[in-house]
């Protein structure tokens, strides 16, 4: 349960970072627009001197299926980068939150004991 929440908050943080990156990019270019995931991945890949996007494409097409790349991954890379992380992050946080019931006092807290 805690792993789902932590992963959800991590994805929401990544979405916030990507949204901030879009804001900074928009200020420098003079027009507001959201970058797609493939563009951001390519920019990060180029900055780190790697070719992970091309390697992923070649690995999926050769070892799994060309249709998987064409029908799943390629459209996913055309979505807004922040939305790709925000949607699953929000779902994980909501799914793994504490539903109902009373909260237990913290064991080592001085507020709960007198």
Query: 3-class DSSP state for residue 16?
Result: helix
Query: 3-class DSSP state for residue 64?
Result: coil
C-beta atoms surrounding 15 within 10 Å:
21
Quote the DSSP letter at residue 77.
T
What's the pTM value of the predicted model, to 2 decimals? Answer: 0.71
- Each residue's pLDDT tens digit, 31-78: 888 888 888 888 888 888 878 888 888 999 999 989 888 898 999 989
Position 101 scores a pLDDT of 62
Residue 52 to residue 6: CA distance in whole angstroms = 26
Where residue 114 falls among pLDDT bands split at 50, 70, 90? Answer: low
Planar angle of CA 102, 103, 104, nearest 5 degrees: 115
């Amino acid at each position: 349960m805690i792993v789902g929440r932590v992963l959800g908050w991590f994805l929401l943080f990544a979405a916030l970072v990507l949204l901030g990156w879009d804001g900074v990019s928009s200020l420098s270019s003079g027009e507001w627009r959201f970058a797609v995931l493939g563009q951001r991945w390519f920019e990060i890949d180029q900055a780190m001197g790697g070719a992970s996007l091309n390697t992923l494409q070649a690995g999926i097409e050769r070892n799994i299926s060309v249709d998987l790349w064409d029908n799943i991954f390629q459209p996913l890379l055309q979505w807004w980068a922040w939305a790709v992380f925000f949607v699953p992050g929000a779902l994980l946080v909501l799914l793994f939150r504490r539903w109902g019931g009373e909260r237990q006092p913290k064991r080592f807290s001085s507020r709960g004991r007198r």
